[in-house]
Chains A and B, each alone.
Chain A
Amino acid sequence: MILHTVNSSPLSTFSLHDCLKQIADNDILLLISDAVIATSATIEQKATLLKLHESKRLFVLQDDLEARGLVANVGQIIDYPAFVDLTIQCKSQLAW
């Protein structure tokens, strides 16, 4: 079980695109920094994100959303302590 973290905008970089190709069945995806944009914009990977969300494997960092004035349409919004819990829960972390 890997915790994948993406930190750049899906509309400017391929990080999310690449990460989603690589993500395994029980892996978790956490969107941080500029990557929180993925939860509010209309992007190609919307369906894949929705699937992850339905299987409770998509998380978004609250402070990064609010810092940018964004509202998430998908993903479970979490705070920093929950981020720490995710890192404990997962065997390793992969930063994209």
Chain B
Amino acid sequence: MEKKIGIVNRCAPHGSTHAREALDLSLALSAFNESLSLFFMGDGVYQLLAKHQADLILQKDFQPMLQMLELYDVEQIYVCQYSLSVRNISVEQLVIKTTLLSTDEINLHLAKQDQLMSF
């Protein structure tokens, strides 16, 4: 049976390349894995915040690539509700459709994965 893979995004965008690498990996994996889950928690939720202008700091804006997840049938995208509220971010400010989960619910979903990759 196919492995359930979870990609955990915990880094703020642009300050490091982790966010970009995690997204590249997610899109690549989605080609041959249908049970891929993405988790955005901690500072990782900033990756989803709308209106990035990455060109100002000479970085590539990867947000249009987030829209590709839907095209690639990656639908299990989970965001930590607590992380959003601490950062004063509302769900309307996110660029893609996601499922909001409490920290306990995130734990349950993480436990279901066969393999986890953390960025």
Q: Give the contact-size bracket for chain A.
A: 10 to 19
Task: Say whether B50 contacts A69, CB under 8 Å.
Answer: yes
Secondary structure call for the B interface: loop
Tally inter-chain residue pairs, CB-CB below 8 A. 61
Question: CB of A84 within 8 A of chain B?
Answer: no
Does the CB pair B56–A63 fall under 8 Å? Answer: yes
Interface size on B, residues (CB 8 A): 23
Measured CB to CB, the closest approach of chain B to A71, in angstroms, equals 9
Q: Using an 8 Å CB-CB cutoff, how does the interface string of B2-32 with A read, 1 for contact, 0 for none?
A: 0000000011111110000000000000000
Known contacts being A34-B15, A69-B50, is A11 close to B42, with CB within 8 Å?
yes
**In-complex Cβ contact of B88 among A8, A40, A67 (8 A):** A40
Q: A34-B15, A37-B46, A70-B49 are in contact. Are A64 and B86 (CB under 8 A)?
A: no
Provide a sorted-by-A list of 13 A–B residue pairs whose CB atoms are within 8 angstroms. Answer: A8-B15, A11-B42, A12-B42, A34-B14, A34-B16, A41-B87, A42-B86, A42-B87, A66-B53, A66-B56, A68-B12, A68-B14, A70-B49
Residues of A within 8 A of B (CB): 7-9, 11-12, 33-34, 37, 40-42, 63-64, 66-70
